[in-house]
Amino acid sequence: MNDFIITATRPMKAYASQVISHLSKFPSFLTMADSINGVELLRTDRFADGEMEVVVNRSIRGKDLILFTSAARNEAGIGVEEAKIELYHTVDALKRSQAARIIVFEPYVSCARSDRTTRRSSVGLWVHLKTLAGLGVRHFVTYQLHSDKSRSMVDPTICLVDDIPALTLLKRYLCDVYIRNMGVLEREVRANWAFCSVDAGGEKLGRDFANSFGAPLVVAHKQRDYSKSNTIESVNILSAEPVEGKALWIVDDMVDTAGSVEGLIRALEPLRPAEINLIAVHALFSAPAARRLTQLAGEGLLNHIMVTDTISCPGCLPESIPNLEVVPSSELSARIVRTIVTNRSMTKLLRPFSADIYLNSPNLFNQ
């Protein structure tokens, strides 16, 4: 096992503490909680002119550093730009302190949607990963990047990118809370459920869910106005069988302003599904998402909303969103850290999920 310390930038201190707590439950890590806990390892100083400096409070020479970070909404109330600059300063400070290896764990990458390399504009994700690799990060871990091509934006011989499918957490939650046994899977889910992509680009995610549960797939094809952000012109529904009377589960990697979700749900309403639900990994919930989701729920058009906690969702928001269920990810993050520091294979964490196998042997990490 490598000598390592878990630390975090200010937006992710609480999350890192949860990971350490889960990690200490493994027998081999039981007595190591204090030595691996580096939540207070870093100090961020701000100067009168607004500049920043990050200081490492103790020696880390020769140790692996697992750094949890985020530039998304966070409990510390730190904005995107400041959070990114703090991350870059932190990596530089860790490198100058002679850490053996720096592993950045960013559960949600806020610039992940800026990944198109053919337009005349900056590519935020490339800038982010290139900067981290240039500063000395050799391993980058995240959950559910916006596109598969994002993993290859940096040379893996310089910085390895591990994109862990957090949708598996949501599939497991569906099994634990809504399905529970093989009888319900066979009689109810496969007969009366359908999984729906939020757009043609998200068909892969929807199909992934449909295959995992053996249920039908519905594909939504939306027309965007690319001259404006978060703008939908029309939505068309493609399905091999009738939607009427089915419980629909819309699947997406993230919900930002909920404009796409609202447009899709209103396009689905005339098809008379029994109910409509929403599953997404990353709960950005930028305004006016809370208002839109609350309104849809109030109209009886949206039953369950299921997300993970890769982005801080305090309370959950200033506006309460009805029927919102937040699935924790810190235990899975702890298992990923354990896999990395013990130099084990990540195959089990990347393997496709099967509801049949899980319900017969309910252990996510044996899938």
- Based on the fold, state whether residues 255 and 192 are members of the same structural domain: yes
Q: Looking at the domain assignment, is residue 55 inside a domain?
A: yes
| pLDDT number for residue 116 | 83
- Based on the fold, state whether residues 284 and 265 are members of the same structural domain: yes
**251 within 8 A of 198, measured Cβ to Cβ:** yes
Q: Looking at the domain assignment, is residue 363 inside a domain?
A: no
- Based on the fold, state whether residues 152 and 212 are members of the same structural domain: no
Q: Looking at the domain assignment, is residue 61 inside a domain?
A: yes
| pLDDT number for residue 232 | 47
- Based on the fold, state whether residues 335 and 321 are members of the same structural domain: no
Chain position carrying tokens 């530089």: 92
Half-sphere exposure of 297 (CA within 13 A, CB side): 17
- Based on the fold, state whether residues 9 and 52 are members of the same structural domain: yes
Q: Looking at the domain assignment, is residue 358 inside a domain?
A: no
Q: Looking at the domain assignment, is residue 24 inside a domain?
A: yes
CA gyration radius, the chain: 21
- Based on the fold, state whether residues 288 and 208 are members of the same structural domain: yes
Two tokens, residue 178: 């809504």
Among 135, 136, 128, 134, which residue's Cα sits nearest to residue 153?
128
* Rounded CA separation 141/6 (Å): 14
- Based on the fold, state whether residues 197 and 303 are members of the same structural domain: yes
The 10 Å Cβ neighbour count of residue 198 is 25
| CATH number assigned to the domain comprising residue 91 | 3.40.50.2020
Continuous segment of H or E residues that includes residue 276 = strand 275-283
**330 within 8 A of 128, measured Cβ to Cβ:** no
| pLDDT number for residue 362 | 64
**Domain tally, the chain:** 2
* Rounded CA separation 6/351 (Å): 26
- Based on the fold, state whether residues 175 and 200 are members of the same structural domain: yes
pLDDT by position in tens, the chain (length 367): 879 999 999 999 999 999 999 999 998 888 888 899 999 999 999 999 999 999 999 999 999 999 999 999 998 999 999 999 999 999 999 999 999 999 999 999 999 999 887 768 899 999 999 999 999 999 999 999 988 888 888 999 999 999 999 999 999 999 999 999 999 999 999 999 999 998 877 899 999 999 999 999 999 876 655 455 544 455 678 776 789 999 999 999 999 999 989 999 999 999 999 999 999 999 999 989 989 999 999 999 999 999 999 998 765 554 578 889 999 999 999 999 999 999 999 998 889 999 999 999 866 554 4
| pLDDT number for residue 223 | 62
Q: What are the E-state strand segments in 33-166?
A: 42-46, 52-56, 64-68, 101-106, 139-143, 160-164
* Rounded CA separation 74/207 (Å): 32
Q: Looking at the domain assignment, is residue 360 inside a domain?
A: no
| pLDDT number for residue 318 | 46
* Rounded CA separation 20/5 (Å): 10
| pLDDT number for residue 235 | 64
The 10 Å Cβ neighbour count of residue 284 is 19
- Based on the fold, state whether residues 156 and 9 are members of the same structural domain: yes
- Based on the fold, state whether residues 272 and 234 are members of the same structural domain: yes
Residue-wise pLDDT tens digits, 95-141? 999 999 999 999 999 999 998 877 688 999 999 999 999 999 999 99
* Rounded CA separation 299/294 (Å): 9
- Based on the fold, state whether residues 184 and 318 are members of the same structural domain: yes
Residues near 83 by beta carbon (within 8 Å), at least 6 away in sequence: 9, 10, 11, 69, 70, 71, 74
**94 within 8 A of 77, measured Cβ to Cβ:** no
Residue range of the domain that includes 172? 167-328
* Rounded CA separation 356/175 (Å): 10
- Based on the fold, state whether residues 255 and 341 are members of the same structural domain: no
